[in-house]
Amino acid sequence: MLAPCEVTIKCVLPSIRAMIAKELIAKYNLKQTEAAKILGLSQPAISLYNRKMRGKAIDIENDKDVRILIENLTESLAKGNLAHKDFIPMFCEVCRTIRTKGLMCELHKAFEPTVDLEGCELCKTVATKCIGLGSI
């Protein structure tokens, strides 16, 4: 059985990165190379996010709570006043919000057809923590 964390790493993480990258470029007028350096990614990866060729598996842009969390995270990144030890909890809060709101349930079902969407409350009830993110 595919764990929700695996879906998060494969699909949600790139969608969050894409939102952050787009906001760094659009709102803070950063170049792709600058956004890449901030996120620890390559410039081509930022280009793919910016052109919606990566990070589009789940639509989280229209959720108000997720948007606010990402805007706050992006602002801190753009201002350069966010230590790595503070970045991870903020990033994980975005993931937790996505999971607890059930925003990735349909995506999980697509990867793992045996998931019972009606009876599954795992992401909504378990205090989840992101693990193994490595370089975000």
- The model scores a pTM over 0.75: yes
pLDDT of residue 72: 96
More confident residue, 3 or 36: 36
- Quick one: 95 exposed, middle or buried, by C-beta within 10 A (0-12, 13-18, 19+)? buried
Angle, to 10 degrees, between the axis of helix 64-79 and the axis of helix 13-26? 60
Give the pLDDT score at 114.
87
pLDDT of residue 126: 56
Kindly indicate the confidence band of residue 136, based on its pLDDT and cuts at 50, 70 and 90: very low
DSSP state letter for 106: H
The answer, yes or no, to whether residue 112 has pLDDT greater than 50, is: yes
Residue 48 CB contacts under 8 Å (≥ 6 apart), including other chains? 54, 55
Banded pLDDT at 45 (limits 50, 70, 90):
very high
User: In terms of Cα–Cα distance, which of 63, 64, 76 is closest to 27?
Assistant: 76
| Cβ within 8 Å of residue 110, ≥6 positions away | none
